[in-house]
Homo-oligomer: A and B are copies of this chain.
Amino acid sequence: MRAAVIHAPRDIRVEDRDQPSLISQRDAVVKVAAACVCGSDLWPYRGVTETKHARPIGHEMIGEVTAVGSEVTGLAVGDFVISPFTMNDGTCQACRNGMTTGCEHLSGFGGKDAYGDPVGGAQAQYVRVPDASATLVVVPGPVDPALYPSLLTLSDVFSTGHHAAVSAAVGPGKTVVVVGDGAVGLCAVLAAKRLGAARIIAMSRHADRQALAREFGATDIVETRGDEGVQAVRDLLGGDLADCAVEAVGTEESMDQALHVVRAGGNLGFVGVPHGVPTIGMRYLFDTNITVGGGMAPARTYIPELLPDVLSGAIDPGRVFDLELPLDEAAEAYAAMDERRAIKVLLRP
């Protein structure tokens, strides 16, 4: 089968690899119908994180189950599934509380699973999924291929945007600022709209992203940053700060920006993977009573909740894909996102 492999920064190759098969009886194998490139895939691509040896890459996918182990329940060969970007056991304290990304047996794509066995990347024709019963979510069939892009976003990007909005306590009537206009930030705009926010202010300097933000429900755009950005938010809100802010970048600057647009007693939801070792000063939180929540989205928990709205067409998060390429052109997909020629690229195996 064909699979994307990262060898070094800016060196993505699509190669022939052995087709995966079951290792544990709790596994499934999925024939990938669509995968994509994540903003976090750009870290090793850009050399921000080290690539010590060549490894398969990609962690978002939908597809059809082609094999299931004897201990797998609730899944059958032929089922169309969405995979969250991590696998979880479904039984530990974190899983019992729905925080599946805190699982004691958390596994990721493109490395080794929690049990020590190799797992391929999701940018591939097939991939083995450990702990399949607890991880994969079946989409009731038949599945319209036109829905693939939006279904694929539930794997990570829209579930993560939703987590940002939930962590920011977005709800009916709330005012929200979204810091970060990448695919996750844009999905957070859509999630905030879905959750009933009254005002959604997207901080963005890019015309194409501003346009999609507005399509997703942004009521206002702020292009300035820092104190000027805070003042722009106040100007839009009649002198007030926002009830909620979403941080979808992961830098100390963006966290700082997000903290300073929130009112006393408001909420900040963050899903940007922290770069370096950013910290939050306790004193600012103490003085403002801003509550900070977020982290790696428990996509597995959110997929069943969000799926009906995708299937009904109520939301169309697949609009974040502004480029679609065959899997064999994965290198170009990375380059397009790296150079900001594309917001997010869908790959067809």
CB A163 to nearest CB in B, in angstroms, measures 9
Q: Pick the residue among B263, B277, B279, B289 that contacts A296 (CB under 8 A).
A: B289
Is the beta-carbon distance between B274 and A98 smaller than 8 angstroms?
no
Is the beta-carbon distance between A93 and B240 smaller than 8 angstroms?
yes
Q: Using a Cβ–Cβ cut-off of 8 Å, how many residues does chain A contribute to the interface with B? A: 41
A225 CA to B98 CA, complexed, in Å: 29
Specify which chain B residues have a CB less than 8 angstroms from the CB of A281 in the assembled complex: 277-279
- Would A265 and B296 be within 8 Å (CB), given that A281-B279, A286-B273 are in contact? no
Specify which chain B residues have a CB less than 8 angstroms from the CB of A97 in the assembled complex: 243, 263-266
Is the beta-carbon distance between B289 and A102 smaller than 8 angstroms?
yes
**Quick one: closest B residue to A243, CB to CB?**
B97
Specify which chain B residues have a CB less than 8 angstroms from the CB of A279 in the assembled complex: 279-282
A93 CA to B288 CA, complexed, in Å: 12
Specify which chain B residues have a CB less than 8 angstroms from the CB of A288 in the assembled complex: 102, 295
Is the beta-carbon distance between B274 and A283 smaller than 8 angstroms?
yes
CB of A270 within 8 Å of the partner chain? yes
Specify which chain B residues have a CB less than 8 angstroms from the CB of A273 in the assembled complex: 286
Is the beta-carbon distance between A285 and B295 smaller than 8 angstroms?
yes
Is the beta-carbon distance between A99 and B265 smaller than 8 angstroms?
yes
For A284-318 the 0/1 string (1 means CB < 8 A from B) is 01111111111110100000000000000000000
For A90-133 the 0/1 string (1 means CB < 8 A from B) is 00011001110111000000000000000000000000000000
CB A345 to nearest CB in B, in angstroms, measures 25
Specify which chain B residues have a CB less than 8 angstroms from the CB of A285 in the assembled complex: 270, 292-295
Specify which chain B residues have a CB less than 8 angstroms from the CB of A282 in the assembled complex: 255, 270, 274, 277-280
Is the beta-carbon distance between A289 and B295 smaller than 8 angstroms?
yes
CB A177 to nearest CB in B, in angstroms, measures 15
Specify which chain B residues have a CB less than 8 angstroms from the CB of A277 in the assembled complex: 281-283
Q: Pick the residue among B274, B283, B298 that contacts A289 (CB under 8 A).
A: B298
Specify which chain B residues have a CB less than 8 angstroms from the CB of A240 in the assembled complex: 93
Is the beta-carbon distance between A93 and B289 smaller than 8 angstroms?
no
CB of A167 within 8 Å of the partner chain? yes
CB A225 to nearest CB in B, in angstroms, measures 19
A-B contact pairs, 20 of them (CB 8 A): A93-B239, A93-B263, A93-B264, A101-B289, A102-B288, A167-B291, A270-B282, A270-B286, A277-B281, A278-B281, A279-B281, A279-B282, A285-B295, A286-B295, A286-B296, A288-B295, A289-B295, A289-B296, A290-B293, A293-B293
